[in-house]
Amino acid sequence: MKESTRPARPRGRPPKFDRPSQLVTFTLPDDVLAWLKSLHVDPAWAIVKLHEKANRRARKPVELAELVQLPQGRALILVNTEALKELPGVAIIPLSDGRGFLALDAGKGVADLELAVIDSLEAKGMGRAQREALQALRERLREWRRQGVRFEARTIIMANRPSTTGETQLAPAQAAARSRPRDVA
């Protein structure tokens, strides 16, 4: 009879996390524990996930503006929501990582976005950081245009989840209706 060459598995419960860990006991308020359980059924996993998310955010600075590729050669413009707070005719749809994608008012295109940036740059009373962010966005838009990136207007539909009272609120379309591709001259 041949002996098994497989290594013996350690006895007992398998490790919970993929790295060394230790048992910690602490007391939390009920509301904090309920919040952690809303993130993950196991509060320990919720804490680990929050830690990993914070580390990812700390490690990777959020770019001011970037094109994020989608299938079929399409892309969305994602911006740093802190740096670019308000532009006339532009809504920033926030994501959880500090970025958000741009949604333009109905009938507007990238030329209107560039004009909104230019008009905002000419406004008085703007802080230095905001002015620098807008100038950088203007340069990025110009760069994309010169690289031959073609922009097209699309409709973005936003929906709000039902509130705890059971009401459902739908936000209006934030971006332009479907139209032919537009170039900025």
Residues forming a β-bridge with 166: none
Specify the pLDDT at position 176: 32
Q: Where are the alpha helices (DSSP H) in 19-127?
A: 30-39, 43-59, 110-122
Give the Cα separation of 133 and 12 in Å (integer): 55
In which element (H, E) is residue 128 found? helix 128-146
What residues does each domain of the chain span? 19-54, 65-146
Contact predicate 161/133, CB 8 Å: no
pLDDT at 32 > cutoff 90: yes
Cβ neighbours of residue 134 closer than 8 Å, sequence gap 6 or more: 84, 117, 120, 121, 126
Per-residue pLDDT tens digits for 69-113: 888 878 888 888 877 777 888 888 888 778 888 888 888 888 888
| Class of residue 78 by CB neighbours under 10 A (exposed 0-12, middle 13-18, buried 19+) | buried
Per the confidence metrics, is the pTM higher than 0.75? no
Distance CA 109, CA 90 (A): 10
Cα→Cα distances 162→93, 165, 166, 169, 170, Å: 18, 8, 5, 7, 9
